[in-house]
Structure 1
Amino acid sequence: MRYENLLVEIGTEELPPKALSKLAQAFADNVQAALDDAELKYTSVKWFASPRRLAVNVIGLAQQQEDKSIEKKGPAVSVAFDDTGQATKAAQGWARSNGITVEQAERLTTEKGEWLLFKGEVKGEQAATLIPAMIEGALKKLPIPKPMRWGSSPIQFIRPVHTVCMLFGEEIVNGNILGIASDRVIYGHRFHGEKQFNLTHADNYLEQLEAHYVLADFAARKAKIKQQVTTTAEQENALADMSDALLDEVTALVEWPVVLTASFDESFLAVPKEALIYTMKDDQKYFPLLDKDGQLKSRFVFVTNIESKDAYQIISGNEKVIRPRLADAEFFFNTDKKNTLESRLESLKTVLFQKQLGTLYEKSLRISELAGNIASMLGSDTTLAARAGLLSKTDLMTNMVMEFPDVQGVMGMHYAKFDGEHNEVALAQNEQYMPRFAGDQLPTSHISCAVALADKIDSLVGIFGIGQVPKGDKDPFALRRAAIGVLRIIVEMKLPLDLTDLVRSSISLFGDKLTQPEDLETKVVDFILGRFRAWYQEQGIDVDVIQAVAARRPTKPADFAARIEAVSGFKSLASGLALASANKRVANILAKNKVTDTAAIEPSLFENEHEKGLAEALESIEESVSVFVNDANYQGVFAELATLHVKVDNFFDNVMVMAEDERIRNNRLALLSKLRMLFLLVADISILNQQ
């Protein structure tokens, strides 16, 4: 069997930079899946991508499929032949479909009867024959939201296609992809070197492209840009503001990266740095430079796609481009400062939060009151929290935020400081949106936490209250993210808050706006608690541990987290799973025999030392367990319960729970009920997997 490397490149017009790596990865995944389905052997699949190409490199691809033996079971002999011994139409049709006559069929005999059987050899197809359809199929499955057509062709793709190169080793794989016949023609850099060249061998793809000023390996190109930007920043005695998302996008914009440095007028530094950074990063794809204190410098790094003999011209051009953008930010900032945030409250009446739930002004009033209530629960300043909540949406009406939406909150903080608001109030304007995404920072003060929680709880209660519950992947109000944010703030900041109190307080502020108030408190609390599963699974917590705690429905997130930690530790103990198994047995017994939680245990009815021993052991730890539960020291609870291991085992080994005497049976059931209730003070450990 011959093995070669396969190279497939689709040459296009400039591809969407934010989607480039996703498209390339999907292309490779789809090709790999097609190879697996076709049972074509290969070693690995890699992908390459640049602004004008998507490519897949299959390493060690077999020249053809392996031959394989097949067996096809036909009709039963009893129905394959009629009474005269002649083949029936069913048998003839089956034989014909397999390219044989009924007489040539073999027989398959089993205990259940006898059937016609076809045995044959299927010759493996050539890879070159299968590849075009695979590539066509892989491209059709790409995640392209809005495909386009070009010219008079009905063919659609994300961008117009100019070339298709498919080489198996040095041989062209003939085929027609997206209306273009495959060849060995590759386009080089748009401005450097030759416009196009012939690829001599699949193995020479990267080398020949680099000779024509194209670094086709996305990862290598990204690493080079990162290294050069970092080095350039160090030369400027600064750090580059270089997020991975921006680095990916810049990598997707260039084929031959050249890193340069430029500057802007220092007078612009009077504008809050966040607005300037947003302009440079999001609008221009530049890398801002920060000094050792995190302050913005009047220098920035950018990546160009041209290796110019006169770099000054490129630098000058970029400086001319950035100046009006920064001037806009400066103008918006100076204009906004002429009006206080408080004066913008009235304008919030003109903006709907949601048609049924009212305006942003109404939402601000609710946030203000709820934030004050939460601050009271936390023992913080209710006046500051209410003030911060009231102003929380006012910066949305500023020129700066209207022009640069991503600076909402942070500009509110700057404007609040300029207005002379209390520092806690100003800080909360920014921190109300935290955490904005997974892994993001949390609010740093109780006032900020109160506003952030009030905003998220208000959205959850309001949207649930009008029946627009998230379904499937549809979550237009980002309620799942809001719920995770609520949990993270309460758990990681160790806040003594109960979701039931928060949701109930929020519901009371909506008046008659909620059209579906039935069981609303329960629905919202359960929805928030339900986010714990995904959150903890990401942290590697076993699902059964999460379920064991969730079964008790603790509505204080910090308390929920403490129970998770305790159950995880308990499960890892040698006695943990044994007691979990015993709990499962107890739960099954009690489920079939009704026992009240207050059923009394009568020591005089004990018939042997083992039930007496378990009863004494339970009594000896009951008080300490109660103290530990009140202190939310669930690890202490389990440390006490773990001491019951031997007593519980001895009880089940030597005591018949379902005794014939009803009084003795009920006494033993009451004993088991007490045992079960002690464990349920923390979690239902009978749910833990017995393994």
Structure 2
Amino acid sequence: MPDLLLELFSEEIPARMQRRAAEDLRKLVTDALVERGFLYDGARAFATPRRLALHVAGLPPRGRDVREERKGPRVGAPEGALQGFLKSAGLASLDEARIVSDPKKGEFYVAVAERPGRDTIDVLAEILPAVIRSFPWPKSMRWGAASREPGSLRWVRPLHAILASFGPETETPEVVPFEVDGIRAGLTTYGHRFMAPQAIEVRRFADYLPALERARVVLDADRRRDIILHDARDLAFARGLELVEDEGLLEEVAGLVEWPVTLMGGFEERFLDIPPEVIRATIRANQKCFVLRAPDRDGRERLANAFILVSNLVASDGGAAIVAGNERVVRARLSDAAFFWETDKRTRLEDRVERLGAIVFHEKLGTQFARVARLAALARGLAPLVGADPDLAERAARLAKADLVTEMVGEFPELQGLMGRYYAEQQGEDPAVSAAVEEHYKPLGPGDRVPTGPVSVAVALADKLDTLVGFWAIGETPTGSKDPYALRRAALGVIRLILSSALRLPLLPQIAAAAGAHPASGTAFSGDVLGFFADRLKVFLRDQGARHDLIDAVFALPGQDDLLMVVRRVEALGRFLDTEDGRNLLAGSRRAANILRIEEKKDGRAYAAAPDAGLFALPEEEALAGALASARDEAARAVAREDFEGAMRALSALRAPVDAFFDRVTVNADDPALRANRLALLNALRAATREVADFSRIGGEGR
């Protein structure tokens, strides 16, 4: 079966765009083929800094012949209908149609259209230029004289050549005949920009890979990653050091080189007095280099005064000049970092707080200075609820944002919080305060560490609650997939902080307290914010395997703003519904709820009164009423002492009387009084289960 080889050769593609572009190319081409009825055995796309490539294996040489039948009007139909049929079917006369007889509908005309399959190479010549012209680059450009023409090609960087061949392995492949903005597809590619820049003729994928390897190009990005990682590890090991691995940097560097060569550079040991995160950020951000670590004299690990760089060529001097150039830049950057570090240490954090008045948090929410005052008040109020010292929590909140006006964070914004901790430690703050200054941003995402120190938890909760309530107050809430202020992340952070520390923290009072710091906001949106937390909790628990309908069933009860108790109730409910008693009681309660809903709607009234024991006509009614009174009281007492397992056990006693009731009792009796009393009994069942959850919100089949 023939294969397609496509390469789009250009100037350097930004590393961050390469993997997505390769996947887009594969999907766009293969989807277009499948839409036209061309199936294939497999497809794989590749990216290097200067090329996107695609190999589609096992394409048919020609599309399938198509035979279509179009049903027309009956024989003897009006002339207008017949002429319309001939025109739509592309027939000259009715003689070209068949007459088909149907026992029920009689005779009618059928047009048969047969279209021969097209050559695959011709279809590719249509697909490929369309894909190239409409390629979804996040950013693209026009270039040269043709860029003035309307509709001229846009590409991420100037496109220089297109290689496109199609054919079987046993024959000479053909060039796919197409052209895009004067660039005609051919069989030519190019090797490494410096080490093998000459043109290379390639006809099939089996020749393409080795040809590029000879021309110093590693096509596969994953292989480039592996080369860099293993060579860097080996180089570090040979010097008695260890590589500090960095997945993000590894991915980026693999997208910067076509022929990776790892080298080692160094810097003066005096720079190791700078915090290690600063050294790493400096070397990573400015030079895209990896840092190394070595055992300290007392057995602890610390950064080494060396780094790994990745070159894009094999230098004749063994890389000495490349290493020296990188060392000069690293030395200059570390000198700047050392200056920032020493300068920042001269000013205490509390002396920087007023300067936060120059930083606008949001135009409708004021400055960071105003925000710090809100955080301090919130953290002090939260402290007793999370077991923290109120004075320390307030102190940490007042210092939490002070590092935003330091030289170091101005240069490396990603170090905010961390540098605050270093400066707090250096000026002798309580260790809990120093830790909270760093940790109040956490957790930043699902995989981020959750603070456990009480002071850190208090300030982190204050920070996230202020963010949520503030943006809710000005109407900047998430819509669809848009969440510009990361409010979903803030809510998830609150949830994780509460659950990780097993905090009893009713949210409505805290939302009201945060809203009180925004005088114009009021608290009318507190319920909406609590609903937002419920939605985030569903996502969080669903990711852990819990059922979202059980969360709905618990949140449907009034006053459910204690997330820890909600989760424990959901867990107990899930375990109960996994038992036979639980499943049967759910079915019975759902049946009762369905009957009540129908009858209450029909009668225009609710059956909320207590059932009258004097109207019980069958023993099953009396048995259910007695079981309900006992189970509801016992379940309520268990819920009050937060024994949700005990509440479920109490409800499980209802299984047998509920089963017997529905087996032997007719709810809609002819006697109106009897019917009303039995509906009231079903309402009592519904009320009993609502001591634990609203069973009507739970999915599943009723009996």
Instruction: Report the Cα offset of residue 276 of structure 1.
Output: 1.3
1:621-636 matches, cutoff 5 A: 621-636=631-646
Alignment of 1:173-212 (within 5 A): 173-177=176-180, 179-212=182-215
Paired amino acid for 2:4: L
- Cα distance in structure 1, aligned partners of 2:136 and 2:576: 45
Aligned to 2:557: 552
Mapping for residues 284-683 of structure 1, pairs under 5 Å: 284-291=287-294, 293=300, 295-309=302-316, 310-512=318-520, 514=521, 517=522, 519-552=524-557, 554-591=560-597, 592-593=599-600, 594-595=605-606, 599-683=609-693
Please tell me whether the aligned partners of residues 171 and 201 of structure 1 are also in contact (alpha carbons under 8 angstroms).
Answer: no
8 Å contact from structure 1 (residues 584, 687) kept in 2: no
Mean Cα displacement is larger for which, 472-481 or 414-423? 472-481
> Distance between the aligned counterparts of 2:211 and 2:475, measured in 1?
59
Whole-Å separation in 2 of the counterparts to 1:683 and 1:586:
15
Find the counterpart in structure 2 of residue 54 from structure 1: 52
Q: Distance in 1 between matches of 2:126 and 2:691?
A: 61
Give the TM-score of the pair, scaled to structure 2.
0.91
The answer to whether the aligner puts 1:103 opposite 2:108 as a matched pair is: no
For residues 75-94 of structure 1, what are the structure 2 equivalents within 5 Å? 75=73, 80-81=78-79, 89-94=83-88
CA offset at residue 620 of structure 1?
Answer: 4.1
CA-CA distance at 1:414 after TM superposition: 0.7
* CA spacing shift, 1:201–1:468, aligned 2, 3 Å: same
Equivalent residues of 1:41, 1:65 under 8 A apart: no
1:491 is displaced (CA, Å) by: 2.0
SS at match of 1:124: coil
Q: Is the 8 A contact 1:135 1:177 kept in 2?
A: no
Moved more, 264-273 or 585-594: 585-594
Deviations 1:360-414 (A, max 9, x none): 1111100110111111222321111111111111111111111111001100111
Q: 1:161 aligns with which of 159, 162, 168?
A: 159
Please state how far the C-alpha of 1:112 moved relative to its aligned partner: 6.2
Other structure's SS at 2:59 match: strand
Segments of 5+ residues of structure 2 without an aligned counterpart are: 147-151, 168-172
Distance of 1:42 and 1:339 partners within structure 2: 67
| Matched-pair contact (CA < 8 Å) for 1:337–1:418 | yes
Q: Could you tell me which of 102, 106, 131 is aligned with 2:124?
A: 131
SS of alignment partner, residue 46 of structure 1: strand
Change (3 A) 1:355 1:547: same
In the superposition, the TM-score normalised over structure 1's length comes to 0.92
Q: Which runs of 5+ in 1 are unaligned?
A: none
Please tell me the residue identity of whatever aligns with 1:551: A
Tell me the distance in 2 between the aligned counterparts of 1:31 and 1:563. 51
Distance, in Å, in 1 between the alignment partners of 2:294 and 2:612 is 76
Measured in 1, the distance between the counterparts of 2:106 and 2:141 equals 59
Deviation at 1:233, TM superposition (A): 3.7
Cα gap change, 1:52/1:581 in structure 2, threshold over 3 Å: closer, same or farther?
same
Q: How many residues align?
A: 679
Question: 1:238 deviation in Å?
Answer: 4.3
Q: Is the 8 A contact 1:385 1:450 kept in 2?
A: yes
1:427, 1:462 → 2: CA distance? 25
2:68 alignment partner, SS class: strand
2:283 aligns to what?
280
The answer as to whether partners of 2:442 and 2:460 remain within 8 angstroms in 1 is: yes
Percent identity over paired residues: 35
Give the letter for the 2:22 counterpart.
Answer: A
Contact 1:254 1:305 in 2 (8 A): yes
SS of the aligned residue for 1:256 comes to coil
Shift of 1:596: 6.1
Q: Which sits farther off after the overlay, 16-25 or 285-294?
A: 285-294
- Partner residue of 2:41 out of 17, 40, 43: 43
Whether contact under 8 Å (2:632, 2:691) holds in the other structure is: no
Task: Please name the residue that 2:31 is paired with.
Answer: 33
Give yes or no for contact 2:42–2:58 (8 Å, CA) kept in 1.
yes
Cα deviation for residue 588 of structure 1 reads: 1.8
Q: Runs of 4 or more off by more than 6 Å in structure 1?
A: none
* Farther off after superposition, 148-157 or 306-315: 306-315
Tell whether 2:268 aligns with 1:268: no
Amino acid of the structure 1 residue aligned with 2:221: F
Distance 1:358 1:315, change over 3 A: same
How big is the shift at 1:76? 5.8
Q: Is contact 1:165-1:185 (8 Å) kept?
A: yes
Q: Which segment drifts farther, 100-109 or 156-165? A: 100-109
Question: C-alpha displacement at 1:349, in angstroms?
Answer: 1.1
2:259 maps to a residue whose letter is: W
Separation in 2 of the partners of 1:572 and 1:236?
58
Match of 1:72 in 2: 70
Q: Give the Cα–Cα distance (whole angstroms) in 2 for the partners of residues 192 and 107 of structure 1.
A: 72
Quote the Cα distance in structure 1 between the aligned partners of 2:576 and 2:125: 57
| Alpha-carbon separation, structure 2, partners of 1:140 and 1:155 | 6
Q: 1:300 is paired with a residue of what secondary structure?
A: strand
Residues 682 and 299 of structure 1: CA distance in aligned 2, closer, same or farther (over 3 Å):
farther
Distance (whole Å) between structure 2 residues aligned to residue 343 and residue 147 of structure 1: 47
Mapped partners of 1:113, 1:441: distance in 2: 76
